[in-house]
Amino acid sequence: MDVADTDGSSGDTHSVASSSSSSITSRESHSNDQNPSNESRGSALLATQPTSSSISAPNAVASSSSGFSSQVITGGQRLRVAPSSIPGRHLTANALTVPPGANPYQHYRAVATHYERQITRDWAPKPLSPEEILFYRNATLRRLDRIHTLEAEQMRHPRPITKIEQALFMARLDYRIRFYRIFRINDLPTEILTNIFHLVAWSAPDPRAAVSARLWLTSTCRHWRTVAIEDSTLWNAIWFRKPPNFNQAYTWFERAGNSAIDIRINDTAEQPLTLESTSQLIGRLFEKLSNIRVLIIVVQDWDPALFIIHALRRVAQENLPMVMERFELHRAGSAYVQIGTGYEPSFYSQTVPLFGGVTVPSFRYLSLNGVHVDWKNSPLVNLNAFDIRRMPLERVPTLERFRTILKNSPNLTKMIMDGAGPQWPKSLSDVTGLLPIALPMLKVLVIGDFSVNYGTYLVAQFSAPNVLDFTLMNLLGEDCSPFFNRLTSNLPSIRTLTIHTAEITNEQSAIAIFKWLRTVPHLTYLRVINVRQSFLNLLLFDSQLMRPAVSSTKSLLCNKLAYLEIHSVDVSLVAVWAKKRRSLGSPLRKIYIGAETFSSLTQEQLAPLREAMRTPQGTSAVQILAHMQKPSEEEELLK
């Protein structure tokens, strides 16, 4: 029990707004307040993330060098905080200052994790006496009082005060780490504890974290292990990785019982699944084929991919009842080329219909990458997502079949056509008089890796006026004007645009792209990958005069553009471009740099970009984006 949990106070006090000290220390530090599973509560600490005003602040909340002994003046009263009696358990004044170019969220998360480990490392869980329970309850109430007092003090000011914001961050963090010490979680009814476990497992940000979370739940204590193992739905998301050792995944597969199961299978180039190992794995998993709700498979070679499609014929052969909603099969090897030993080319030429050709009423999501099915005999209806990639044109659906799939999927919300789409028509008469198929629910559209002529043909097959997120990749050909002319006015609702590899090579293309961009006035988030300056320069044009803007104007092309994300782009050019947008009256709010791009840059190379994005508060609105991370601003735009 630590002296800082007592009601004693120090006569040595400082104002929260003081800046005379060099450290931040919790008002209560416990040498023996340690929870053994500090990692498992990392998600709880994310709620302590401060507001933007505190993220951009250069200073930290001050305290005495011996501890966080401070007072807040509110309504003439002072809240006195006892100094810590344990030296060294504090954060330096610079700890809350976000380093240049760092992700503020990741920085504060790291601060929270570090501080939690400091406080909890000496805590030994044990049954508490009534006196100890009362003691810790009073200490918790005092922490809440401090939070409420700081909140009240902040409300007195017309705008957030950085030092109070940071004091709140530390006070809330201190409270969140310690408040559960006296919570009798094991006395909760099993069904409530089970719901808590679900929140822990399913709120994980990625599959690896979800695996770790469930391991923590079963290794904390005997009671938790019993409750967790007896709940089959806690184990129904299973990741088969690191072949051929699937012992852990098989154990979870058995624990899932008869609940609906979500399965993900991954091999690697170093350890690819063979035909034999795939046969053993699928044979065991398909014992519960009727229970599989989601099946996502990533393999390297043709043999396992073809075997999986072949094995799904059991649905038709045995007339199995199915709950499958989503099926993804990705072959990560070379596109279009079949290399394998288990199946002869004759088998490859005889494609197999999905699910043996029967309808699965629950099925909504299809993704095939580098592998194909018998499209004619695969009943695909009521899809929410239709995703086909990297297929030779002789193996994609015919135009008639492609249009039928779209017609039979009025609620389609996501469509990806990456190096795949409908077969090229044999003659112009095959497409004459065909009207675009209306896809009013489509929100996400990804197309790319084809010629200009094919792209023009593809987008002519449908209309999608409500697409919010549009991605265009690797449009091949010198003159892309026919494609963009066809696209003009067809996607008026775009909020997020991703352009991968774009270069304007002639005037006709520039005019066509300009006219198309003029029809997407709501564009707010732009992601560019390997894009040349000629494309970015179009966004410095006056949309009415069709020429580069020379002064601040409300008619700047895409004047709502607020966020730019860059990958493999010359940052010096982006810096000049961003400064010009600002001078024309449409400044960006933030620029994101992909982690891989950032790692290749020196501080000298980044300096012009940071200067171009300097805010009135003196900080730079440039942020590093982790691999596969989606910014919160983009997520908000797609809601």
Asked whether residue 20 carries a pLDDT value surpassing 60, the answer given is: no
In a domain, 387, yes or no: no
- Please report, for residues 44, 174, 293, 470, the alpha-carbon distance to residue 418 in angstroms, rounded to integers and kept in the order given: 39, 49, 25, 13
* Local confidence band at 476 (pLDDT 50, 70, 90 cut-offs): confident
Assess contact for 488 and 519: CB atoms under 8 A: yes
* Local confidence band at 442 (pLDDT 50, 70, 90 cut-offs): very high
Residue 343, pLDDT score:
46
In a domain, 585, yes or no: no
CA distance 123 to 131: 18
Residue 342, pLDDT score:
44
SS (H, E, C) 272-289: CCCHHHHHHHHHHHHHHH
Q: Among 357, 271, 373, 261, which Cα is nearest to 315's? A: 357
Q: Give the pTM.
A: 0.76
Assess contact for 439 and 412: CB atoms under 8 A: yes
Q: What is the mean pLDDT of residues 237-247?
A: 87
Residue 177 belongs to what domain range? 3-183
Asked whether residue 438 carries a pLDDT value surpassing 60, the answer given is: yes
**Any idea of the CA torsion for 621, 627, 632, 637, to the nearest 10 degrees?**
100
CA distance 554 to 531: 26
Worst-scoring range by mean pLDDT, 108-112, 145-149, 462-466? 108-112
In a domain, 517, yes or no: no
User: In this structure, what are the phi and psi dihedrals at residue 594, rounded to the nearest 5 degrees?
Assistant: -60, 145
Burial of 618 (0-12, 13-18, 19+ CB in 10 A): exposed
In a domain, 638, yes or no: no
In a domain, 82, yes or no: yes
Burial of 240 (0-12, 13-18, 19+ CB in 10 A): buried
* Local confidence band at 119 (pLDDT 50, 70, 90 cut-offs): confident
Residue 145, pLDDT score:
95
In a domain, 107, yes or no: yes
Collapsing DSSP to helix, strand or coil, 134 comes out as: helix
The per-residue pLDDT of the chain, averaged, comes to 83
pLDDT digits (tens, 9 = 90+) for 156-173: 988 888 888 888 988 999
* Local confidence band at 7 (pLDDT 50, 70, 90 cut-offs): very low
In a domain, 571, yes or no: no
How are beta strands 563-567 and 590-594 bridged, if at all? parallel
Residue 335, pLDDT score:
67
Q: What is the mean pLDDT of residues 378-392?
A: 96
Residue 336, pLDDT score:
57
Worst-scoring range by mean pLDDT, 16-20, 122-126, 296-300, 366-370? 16-20
CA distance 197 to 229: 11
* Local confidence band at 53 (pLDDT 50, 70, 90 cut-offs): very low
The encoded tokens of residue 235 equal 């184990």
CA distance 382 to 305: 25
Residue positions counted in the chain: 639
Residue 349, pLDDT score:
57
CA geometry: angle at 152 spanning 147 and 153, to 5°? 100
Worst-scoring range by mean pLDDT, 405-409, 566-570, 602-606, 628-632? 628-632
Residue 575, pLDDT score:
97
* Local confidence band at 102 (pLDDT 50, 70, 90 cut-offs): confident
Q: What is the mean pLDDT of residues 423-428?
A: 86
Q: Which residue has the higher pLDDT, 427 or 548?
A: 548
Residue 536, pLDDT score:
94
User: In this structure, what are the phi and psi dihedrals at residue 19, rounded to the nearest 5 degrees?
Assistant: -130, 30
* Local confidence band at 125 (pLDDT 50, 70, 90 cut-offs): confident
The continuous run of DSSP H or E covering 139 comes out as helix 130-155
Residue 435, pLDDT score:
94
Assess contact for 177 and 136: CB atoms under 8 A: no
Q: Which of 49-63, 303-317, 618-632 has the highest mean pLDDT?
A: 303-317
Q: Among 63, 50, 55, which Cα is nearest to 89's? A: 63
Q: Among 469, 593, 584, which Cα is nearest to 537's? A: 584
SS (H, E, C) 316-329: HHCCCCCCCCEEEE
Please give the share of the chain, as a percent, with pLDDT higher than 90: 61
pLDDT digits (tens, 9 = 90+) for 192-224: 999 999 999 988 888 888 899 999 999 988 999
CA distance 243 to 252: 16
Asked whether residue 24 carries a pLDDT value surpassing 80, the answer given is: no
In a domain, 171, yes or no: yes
Residue 208, pLDDT score:
85
CA distance 244 to 224: 30
Asked whether residue 40 carries a pLDDT value surpassing 80, the answer given is: no
Q: Which residue has the higher pLDDT, 581 or 269?
A: 581
Asked whether residue 242 carries a pLDDT value surpassing 60, the answer given is: yes
Residue 337, pLDDT score:
55
Asked whether residue 70 carries a pLDDT value surpassing 90, the answer given is: no
Q: Where are the beta strands (DSSP E) in 41-164?
A: 71-74, 77-80, 90-92
Q: Report H helices in 299-372.
A: 302-311, 314-317, 345-349
pLDDT digits (tens, 9 = 90+) for 495-544: 999 999 877 888 999 999 999 999 999 999 999 999 989 999 999 999 99
Please give the share of the chain, as a percent, with pLDDT higher than 70: 83
Q: Among 281, 272, 279, which Cα is nearest to 299's? A: 272
- Number of domains present in the structure of the chain: 1
